[in-house]
Chain A
């Protein structure tokens, strides 16, 4: 197996264009366990040294999170309350050791239905930056993850960064994960909420649910139902109709009915947590 550690995006992209199977790796916390007993073959491009993929930068009112940024870096960075949900997800991915190596971009490219990072980033309306030798394109995260372990990443492309757009003033957020334990566990379901108030009323909300459909989904009907509500009135607002975009399955971690019931409760709790901490 050949190994390359490019230091610029240009070098990484030209390495990826070389003939033969080249695999991209950053933290390795999904790639290496997925090998099982098979050896690595072909070539490996290590993205952790690519300058353009490092660091978190505020720009144009929003933020650019480099593709090699780890969960640990998110936790250590001073970010406004709209990032509390993403930070909560960062504290629940794998273990602390995993958080030190694993990247947000890798979580997206791995495209597991149970990826802990996707609901929080969907609720922040994140976009992905996809670099290729032909230039750079941007896609809403909702259009990037297309199915179970499937993304819109084209051959020759690298997910070079995430972009978080400017958030409404006073936006707060939360993330709740249900697992059979807290750590080193695959989520049963998870919910992330971002919401903001004006004149004592909820002025808008974004709610995303993971592990209850092939791809994590926003809940537009619930978001619409929240607008105009008084925060104190927020009790059990989530109804079965609001969960229409979800298609939970039954598996070893829980039945489909259990997942539906858990999502409704978690949505209500996530909203209260975003509002009241």
Chain B
């Protein structure tokens, strides 16, 4: 996949220079200033420093999607990113989408359709579902979009493809799809 790797790396020598950074994140609309070890992932900063434990650590390798949250409106795997790389960025987590008293329509639909079993992947699923609906509305094509110039349809096929970066080991996929379709069709 994708990064600049580097030919000189690999030595264990410590370098001079600060190993921590003051990082300003705007999390769910509130400015938070953190002093973090530079190696801290965005996921760990959210969970361990800000105690926003809704964002889950599944594989910690970018494969399961449990840590999905929004950075400047785009969904990313927060485990594959360092907190210091997001100085000044706007982060939205599951806690920013809704509360038990005032749920986002997707959260309500997951409850109504029983879109989970253990619930561990659910925050990531809901963040990806939110992004899926926004990406469909913005006309961004997916792998299964036939006509790249027309708006993609709100079809089960499109939703399944766009939700494919989130794995549910309980296998609640059928109900997750129903929940997302429900909200998609209500709009």
* Chain A residues within CB distance 8 Å of chain B: 1-5, 18, 20-34, 39-44, 46-48, 67, 70-72, 75-76, 84, 87-88, 91-98, 100-107, 109-112, 115-117, 149, 151, 153-155, 158-159, 182-184
Contacts and interface: CB of A to CB of B under 8 A. Distances in A.
A99 to B, nearest CB: 9
Given A28-B80, A30-B3, A42-B9, 14 more contacts: A23-B5, A26-B2, A29-B3, A31-B4, A46-B84, A91-B142, A96-B131, A96-B165, A101-B77, A102-B3, A107-B2, A153-B6, A155-B7, A182-B164
A5 B38 contact: no
Q: Give chain B's interface residue range (CB within 8 Å of chain A).
A: 35 or more
Interface of B: 1-19, 21, 37-39, 41, 61-63, 65, 68, 71, 74-77, 79-82, 84-85, 87, 128, 131, 135, 140-143, 148, 161-162, 164-167
A76 B68 CA distance: 21
Nearest to A159: B4
Contact of A28 (B3, B13, B38, B71): B3
Among B12, B41, B77, B161, max chain A CB count under 10 A is at B77
Contacts, number: 206
Given A24-B5, A25-B4, A98 B62 contact: yes
- What is the interface of chain B mostly: helix, strand, loop, or mixed? loop
Contact of B141 (A42, A75, A105): A75
A183 to B, nearest CB: 4
A64 B164 CA distance: 31
A23 B75 contact: no
Contacts of A26: 2-4
A26 to B, nearest CB: 5
Given A1-B39, A101-B77, A42 B165 contact: no
A73 to B, nearest CB: 10
A104 B37 CA distance: 28
A182 B143 contact: yes
